[in-house]
Amino acid sequence: MSATTSRLLADAVLALHVAFVAFVVLGLVAILVGGALRWRSVRNPTFRALHLAAIGLVVAEAWAGVPCPLTSLEDSLRAAAGEATYSGAFVAHWLGRLLYWQAPPWVFVTAYTIFGAAVAASWWLVRPRAFRASP
């Protein structure tokens, strides 16, 4: 695989990672605001189950000490492209700065756990509709 292809794939993985984080974080904001404003969409059981599963996966990985597979994939692609940092692409540089923070692992485990607990609590604060049986 060429360096250019690896770099483009790494940027795509980073964009996917940012979208995943946005889904988790903004999803909770939407649930809480939407619950207060009586939006039906935030009670969609499929959305709510996917949202809970997404943060559940992050919390489980953090507690198990498993590195995020998206981060690992992006790092591998950047290494294949000969990049050590986000020095090349503007978008990759700023998305990376938005997403990656330097802190001890326990900080992330604690933050993810608290956020996961908030998402779980949102199931009681803003109850999702029941799943419907398909005809």
pTM for this predicted structure: 0.81
The domain segmentation of the chain, as residue ranges, is 3-125
Q: What is the maximal distance between C-alpha atoms in the chain? A: 54
What is the residue whose two structure tokens read 């988790």?
24
Q: What local confidence, expressed as pLDDT, does residue 98 receive?
A: 65
CB atoms within 10 A of CB 59: 20
Residue 37 in contact with residue 118, Cβ under 8 Å?
no
Tokens of 4: 């250019």
Q: What is the pLDDT of residue 83?
A: 75
Residues 69-110 have pLDDT tens digits of 988 898 899 888 887 644 445 455 556 666 677 778 788 889
Could you tell me the two tokens for 125? 């604060």
Residue 114 corresponds to which tokens in the numbers above? 């608290």
Q: Quick check: 7 and 81 in contact, CB under 8 A?
A: yes
Sign for the pseudo-dihedral over CA of 52, 55, 61, 65: negative
d(C-alpha 20, C-alpha 80), whole Å: 24
Q: Of the spans 7-16, 41-50, 93-102, which averages the highest pLDDT?
A: 41-50
pLDDT for 1 equals: 83
Q: Which residues contact 76 (CB under 8 A, 6 or more apart)?
A: none
Report how far residue 13's alpha carbon sits from residue 72's, in angstroms, rounded to the nearest whole number.
10
User: What is the rounded average pLDDT for all residues in the chain?
Assistant: 87
